[in-house]
Structures are given as structure tokens and as C-alpha cells.
Homo-oligomer: A and B are copies of this chain.
Amino acid sequence: MPVYKLYYFNARARAEGIRWLLSLAGVEFEDIRIDRNDWPTKKQEMPLGYVPVLEVDGQKLSESQAISRYLANTFGFAGKTDWEKALADQYVDVVYDILSAARAISRAPNDEAKAEIKRILIEVDGPRILGHFERCLESNKSGYLVGDSLTWADVVVASYLDSFIDRISPEFGELLEKFPKIRAHLDKVRAIPQIAAFIAKRPKTVL
């Protein structure tokens, strides 16, 4: 078994889906959470100057989606056909659009700007994106986003929704209650034994 090291900060954000996938696969991994004070030094060791980075037997890979998809391919969660793989990719790209909004809230220059970005997320883009997931779960019927079994899209989408509930609180959690299928899907993924075990022992973080 290769040696896996995951480099990120002490936050869920872009790394939590990777941690869930590694847990699901049942592999040991070093969950390295870089202290902000050490970042200027550690940054130099990252191929593109940012994290998350997954190191596999000493080889480093950047970009959270590329890392998650690599684990999906390696451990058999990518989807069974090229079309299923494409749908999984699409759903992960879509949930990243919520992340972009969440990041924009954090970076907004003042409270008024923050409130306006949050309003657009909760009233416009959030409902559009969650509505899309809801319809997918309605039409797919298996209880999974893609095909008839769990893919990395289920895991990554759930990991983000899980973090947004805390990050954009209480608005995002309230919004999510309006979409019962994707809400139940989140609970189902969190209850997968390997993922539940990871959640139970992970550090508590807001982001």
C-alpha cells in the first residue's frame, strides 16, 4: 500500500472530501494540518504554492478535484461508464460554485458586501444548485447522484454541504431543509461507517 500524506490547513474546506474518500477507502493517511505560522515555509515545498496537496509515495499532486478524482479512480468510486464519470465530474464542479460564493463572503471588504453575496447565494444560486441536485436524486431513484451505487460525487458533494452548514450558519442549513432528498443524502453519506468514524474523531473546525 502506498504512503499517503495529505497537506492542508486545520480546516475542512477543500480537503474534507479528500479525507472522507481516504477514510472510505480504508487506507491509512497522514492528515497534516499546517499551522498558519508555518505556511510561509511550507508553501515553498508545494509544487504550485498552495494546498491541498496529496503526496503518494513522495510524489505530490495539487488541486482538490484532481486529488479526489485520483482517489476515486484508484479505489473504484469514479463511476462505471464514461458517461457516469462525466456526471460525477459535473456534480463536483457544480458544488464548487457554492464554495466560490462561500469564499467570496469570507473575502468581501465589509459587512454590507458580505451580506449581499450571502443574499445572492441563499436566494438565487443556492436554490438553483440544490434544486438541481434534488431533481437528480428524484430522477435517478437509486439514492445516489450517479448510477446505482456510491461515487466520489456523493462523497465530495456531501462533504461540502456538511461544511457549508457551519460556515454559512444558520442560512445554509435552513435552505438545505427545503430540499429533503439532498438533505437526506447528506445524512446517508455521513452515516457510512468509515466516514462516520472519521467525523467522530476529526478536529472541530468552523471552516
Residues of A within 8 A of B (CB): 47-49, 56, 59, 61-63, 65-67, 69-70, 73-74, 82-83, 85-87, 89-90, 93-94, 128-129, 132
Contact = CB atoms under 8 A, between A and B. Distances in A.
A132 B86 contact: no
B63 A89 contact: yes
Given A48-B94, A70-B86, 15 more contacts: A47-B132, A56-B83, A59-B83, A61-B83, A61-B86, A63-B90, A63-B94, A65-B89, A65-B93, A66-B87, A67-B86, A69-B89, A70-B82, A73-B82, A73-B85
A87 B61 contact: yes
A80 to B, nearest CB: 12
Contact of A61 (B49, B59, B66, B90): B90
A27 to B, nearest CB: 14
A52 to B, nearest CB: 12
Nearest to A73: B82
As for how many copies of this chain the complex holds, the number is 2
A127 to B, nearest CB: 12
Contacts of A82: 70, 73-74
A132 B63 contact: no
Contacts of A62: 90, 93-94
A14 to B, nearest CB: 11
Contacts of A48: 94, 128-129, 132
Contacts of A94: 48, 62-63
A171 to B, nearest CB: 22
Contact of A89 (B66, B87, B128): B66
Name the 6 nearest CB pairs between A and B, nearest first.
A66-B89, A70-B86, A63-B93, A66-B90, A73-B82, A63-B90
Contacts of A87: 61, 66
A158 to B, nearest CB: 19
B83 A70 contact: yes
Contacts of A89: 63, 65-66, 69-70
